[in-house]
Amino acid sequence: MSDKVNYDFRISSLGTCKVPSPKPYSTKLGDSIANYTRDDQYILRSNTIDASTVGPDYDPAWMLEIAGPREKIYFSPSHSHAAIVTCGGLCPGLNDVIRSITRTLWYFYGVERITGIRYGYRGFRPEFNLTPIELNPDIVDDIHNMGGSILGSSRGYGDEEPIVDALERMNINILFTIGGDGTLRGSQAISDEIKKRGLKIACVGVPKTIDNDIMFVQKTFGFDTAVAKAVEAVSAAHVEAKSAPDGIGLVKVMGRDSGFIAAHTTLSTSDVNICLIPEVPFVLEGEHGLLKTLEDRLDKRKHAVILVAEGAGQELLKSGKDGLDASGNKSYGDIGLYLKDTIHKFLTDKGREANIKYIDPSYIIRASPANPVDSYYCARLGANAVHAAMTGRTACLIGQWNNALVHVPIHMATFKRKQVYNEGSLWRDVLESTRQPISMID
Amino acid sequence: MSDKVNYDFRISSLGTCKVPSPKPYSTKLGDSIANYTRDDQYILRSNTIDASTVGPDYDPAWMLEIAGPREKIYFSPSHSHAAIVTCGGLCPGLNDVIRSITRTLWYFYGVERITGIRYGYRGFRPEFNLTPIELNPDIVDDIHNMGGSILGSSRGYGDEEPIVDALERMNINILFTIGGDGTLRGSQAISDEIKKRGLKIACVGVPKTIDNDIMFVQKTFGFDTAVAKAVEAVSAAHVEAKSAPDGIGLVKVMGRDSGFIAAHTTLSTSDVNICLIPEVPFVLEGEHGLLKTLEDRLDKRKHAVILVAEGAGQELLKSGKDGLDASGNKSYGDIGLYLKDTIHKFLTDKGREANIKYIDPSYIIRASPANPVDSYYCARLGANAVHAAMTGRTACLIGQWNNALVHVPIHMATFKRKQVYNEGSLWRDVLESTRQPISMID
Amino acid sequence: MSDKVNYDFRISSLGTCKVPSPKPYSTKLGDSIANYTRDDQYILRSNTIDASTVGPDYDPAWMLEIAGPREKIYFSPSHSHAAIVTCGGLCPGLNDVIRSITRTLWYFYGVERITGIRYGYRGFRPEFNLTPIELNPDIVDDIHNMGGSILGSSRGYGDEEPIVDALERMNINILFTIGGDGTLRGSQAISDEIKKRGLKIACVGVPKTIDNDIMFVQKTFGFDTAVAKAVEAVSAAHVEAKSAPDGIGLVKVMGRDSGFIAAHTTLSTSDVNICLIPEVPFVLEGEHGLLKTLEDRLDKRKHAVILVAEGAGQELLKSGKDGLDASGNKSYGDIGLYLKDTIHKFLTDKGREANIKYIDPSYIIRASPANPVDSYYCARLGANAVHAAMTGRTACLIGQWNNALVHVPIHMATFKRKQVYNEGSLWRDVLESTRQPISMID
Amino acid sequence: MSDKVNYDFRISSLGTCKVPSPKPYSTKLGDSIANYTRDDQYILRSNTIDASTVGPDYDPAWMLEIAGPREKIYFSPSHSHAAIVTCGGLCPGLNDVIRSITRTLWYFYGVERITGIRYGYRGFRPEFNLTPIELNPDIVDDIHNMGGSILGSSRGYGDEEPIVDALERMNINILFTIGGDGTLRGSQAISDEIKKRGLKIACVGVPKTIDNDIMFVQKTFGFDTAVAKAVEAVSAAHVEAKSAPDGIGLVKVMGRDSGFIAAHTTLSTSDVNICLIPEVPFVLEGEHGLLKTLEDRLDKRKHAVILVAEGAGQELLKSGKDGLDASGNKSYGDIGLYLKDTIHKFLTDKGREANIKYIDPSYIIRASPANPVDSYYCARLGANAVHAAMTGRTACLIGQWNNALVHVPIHMATFKRKQVYNEGSLWRDVLESTRQPISMID
Please report, for chain A, the start and end positions of each structural domain, with discontinuous segments joined by +.
Answer: 2-220+370-414, 223-367+423-434
Nearest CA in chain B to D145: B145
Alpha carbons D260 and D247: distance in angstroms, whole number: 26
Alpha carbons B227 and B254: distance in angstroms, whole number: 10
Question: Per residue in A204-252, pLDDT tens?
Answer: 999 999 999 998 899 999 999 999 999 999 999 999 999 999 999 999 9
pLDDT of residue D326: 54
**pLDDT of D107 above 50:** yes
Q: Give the ipTM.
A: 0.91
DSSP character at residue C106:
I
Question: Per residue in B105-123, pLDDT tens?
Answer: 999 999 999 999 999 999 9
Once rounded to an integer, what is the mean pLDDT over residues C61-65? Answer: 71
Confidence grade of residue D55 (pLDDT, cut at 50, 70, 90): very low
Taking contacts as CB-CB distances below 8 angstroms, the residues of chain A near C142 are 142, 146
Inter-chain CB pairs, A–C, below 8 Å: 6
Cα–Cα nearest to D115, from D154, D155, D160, D80: D80
Topology annotation, domain A223-367+423-434: Rossmann fold (3.40.50)
Q: Are A184 and A190 a contacting pair, CB within 8 Å?
A: no
Low-confidence ranges of chain A (pLDDT < 50): 1-7, 49-58, 60, 320-321
Largest CA distance in chain B: 78
DSSP character at residue A5:
S
Once rounded to an integer, what is the mean pLDDT over residues B407-418? Answer: 88
pLDDT of residue C29: 81
Task: Name the more confident of D310 and B53.
Answer: D310
Confidence grade of residue B55 (pLDDT, cut at 50, 70, 90): very low
CB contact under 8 A, A146 and C146: no
CB contact under 8 A, B146 and D146: no
Which residues 360-389 on chain B approach chain A with CB closer than 8 angstroms?
360-361, 363-364, 367-368
CATH architecture of D2-220+369-414: 3-Layer(aba) Sandwich (3.40)
Question: Per residue in D295-325, pLDDT tens?
Answer: 999 999 999 999 999 999 998 886 544 555 5
Do the domains B223-367+423-434 and B2-220+369-414 match in fold?
yes
Cα–Cα nearest to A428, from D19, D380, D219, D401: D380
A21-35, B54-68, C221-235, C370-384: least confident range: B54-68
pLDDT of residue D44: 65
CB contact under 8 A, B425 and C405: yes
Question: Per residue in D212-237, pLDDT tens?
Answer: 999 889 999 999 999 999 999 999 99
CB contact under 8 A, C403 and B405: no
Backbone φ and ψ of D131, nearest 5°:
-60, 125
Question: Per residue in D115-124, pLDDT tens?
Answer: 999 999 999 9
Alpha carbons D439 and D442: distance in angstroms, whole number: 8
Comparing CB atoms, the residue among B227, B280, B403 nearest residue C403 is B403
Q: Are C294 and C344 a contacting pair, CB within 8 Å?
A: no
Confidence grade of residue C203 (pLDDT, cut at 50, 70, 90): very high
pLDDT of residue A382: 97
CB contact under 8 A, D423 and A32: yes
**pLDDT of C425 above 80:** yes
Q: What is the CATH number of domain C224-367+423-434?
A: 3.40.50.460
CB contact under 8 A, B367 and A240: yes
The shortest C-alpha distance from B146 to chain D (Å) reads: 9
- H or E segment and range at residue D268: helix D260-268
Once rounded to an integer, what is the mean pLDDT over residues C273-283? Answer: 97
Backbone φ and ψ of B425, nearest 5°:
-75, -30
> Is residue C126 exposed (0-12), middle (13-18) or buried (19+ Cβ within 10 Å)?
exposed
With a pLDDT cut of 70, the percent of chain C lying above it is: 89
Residue D156, phi-psi category: left (phi > 0), alpha (psi -120 to 50), beta (remainder): left
| Secondary structure class of B405 (helix, strand, coil) | strand
Taking contacts as CB-CB distances below 8 angstroms, the residues of chain B near C280 are 32
> What does the buried/exposed string (b/e) look like for C160-177 if buried means 16 or more CB atoms within 10 Å of the residue's CB?
bebbbebbeeeebbbbbb
pLDDT of residue C440: 93
Which residues 139-178 on chain B approach chain D with CB closer than 8 angstroms?
142, 145-146
- Report the residue count for chain B: 442
**pLDDT of D352 above 90:** yes
Cα–Cα nearest to C275, from C433, C425, C424: C433
CB contact under 8 A, D146 and B142: yes
pLDDT of residue A49: 42
With a pLDDT cut of 90, the percent of chain D lying above it is: 74
Taking contacts as CB-CB distances below 8 angstroms, the residues of chain B near D146 are 142, 145
Taking contacts as CB-CB distances below 8 angstroms, the residues of chain A near D107 are 432, 435
Cα–Cα nearest to B122, from B328, B398, B329, B327: B327
DSSP character at residue D248:
E
The shortest C-alpha distance from A326 to chain D (Å) reads: 33
Cα–Cα nearest to A145, from A92, A104, A220, A103: A92
Task: Name the more confident of A199 and C58.
Answer: A199
How distant, in Å, are the alpha carbons of A108, B294, D417, D419, D424 from that of D279? 24, 58, 11, 7, 12
CB contact under 8 A, B148 and A363: no
pLDDT of residue C56: 44
CATH architecture of A2-220+370-414: 3-Layer(aba) Sandwich (3.40)
| Secondary structure class of B268 (helix, strand, coil) | helix
User: Catalytic one among B96, B181, B211, B257?
Assistant: B211
Inter-chain CB pairs, C–D, below 8 Å: 89
Taking contacts as CB-CB distances below 8 angstroms, the residues of chain D near C147 are 235-236, 239
How are strands ordered across the β-sheet holding C274-276? C274-276, C303-309, C247-253, C355-359
Inter-chain CB pairs, B–C, below 8 Å: 209
The shortest C-alpha distance from A415 to chain C (Å) reads: 41
| Secondary structure class of A295 (helix, strand, coil) | helix
Q: Choose the mutation target among A108, A217, A242, A432 for the interface with D, i.e. most D CBs under 10 Å.
A: A432
**pLDDT of B58 above 50:** no
pTM of the model: 0.92
Give yes or no for B405 touching C (CB within 8 A): yes
Paired strand residues for C404: C401
Alpha carbons C335 and C254: distance in angstroms, whole number: 11
Cα–Cα nearest to D266, from A58, A375, C417: A375
pLDDT of residue B45: 61
Domain C2-220+368-414 has CATH 3.20.20.70: no
Taking contacts as CB-CB distances below 8 angstroms, the residues of chain B near D142 are 142, 146
Q: For chain A, state the CA radius of gyration.
A: 23
Alpha carbons B272 and B252: distance in angstroms, whole number: 12
Handedness of CA C87, C92, C97, C102 (dihedral sign): positive
B211 a catalytic residue: yes
Alpha carbons A421 and D32: distance in angstroms, whole number: 9
A94-103, A223-232, B167-176, D406-415: least confident range: D406-415
User: Catalytic one among D181, D211, D213, D271?
Assistant: D211
Alpha carbons D147 and D153: distance in angstroms, whole number: 12
The type of residue at B188 is Q
pLDDT of residue A53: 41
pLDDT of residue B48: 52
Which residues 83-112 on chain C approach chain D with CB closer than 8 angstroms?
90
Alpha carbons A324 and A338: distance in angstroms, whole number: 20
| Secondary structure class of B356 (helix, strand, coil) | strand
The string of DSSP codes covering B93-141 is THHHHHHHHHHIIIIII----EEEPSTGGGGG-GGG--PPEEP-TTTTT
pLDDT of residue C347: 97
Confidence grade of residue B323 (pLDDT, cut at 50, 70, 90): low
Question: Per residue in C361-377, pLDDT tens?
Answer: 999 999 999 999 999 99
In this structure, the number of other CB atoms found within 10 A of the CB of residue A315 comes to: 9
Task: Name the more confident of B38 and B74.
Answer: B74
Confidence grade of residue C58 (pLDDT, cut at 50, 70, 90): very low
Cα–Cα nearest to A103, from D434, C440, B270: D434
Once rounded to an integer, what is the mean pLDDT over residues D70-88? Answer: 95
Contacts of residue B213, defined as CB under 8 A and 6 or more positions apart, other chains included, come to B181, B220, B256, B257, B258, B260, B417, B418, B419
Contacts of residue B204, defined as CB under 8 A and 6 or more positions apart, other chains included, come to B174, B175, B176, B177, B385, B388, B389, B393, B394, B396, B397, B398
**pLDDT of C328 above 80:** no
HSE-up of residue D73 (Cα within 13 Å, Cβ side):
24
**pLDDT of C320 above 80:** no
pLDDT of residue B333: 78
Task: Name the more confident of D58 and B292.
Answer: B292
Q: Are D259 and D236 a contacting pair, CB within 8 Å?
A: no
Once rounded to an integer, what is the mean pLDDT over residues B185-191? Answer: 94
With a pLDDT cut of 90, the percent of chain B lying above it is: 75
Q: Are A11 and A392 a contacting pair, CB within 8 Å?
A: yes
**pLDDT of C322 above 90:** no
Alpha carbons C158 and C190: distance in angstroms, whole number: 9
The string of DSSP codes covering A191-212 is HHHHHHTT---EEEEEE--TT-
Question: Per residue in B216-238, pLDDT tens?
Answer: 899 999 999 999 999 999 999 99
Backbone φ and ψ of A213, nearest 5°:
-115, 30
The separation between the first and the last C-alpha atoms of chain C, rounded to the nearest angstrom, is 48
A159-173, C213-227, C331-345: least confident range: C331-345
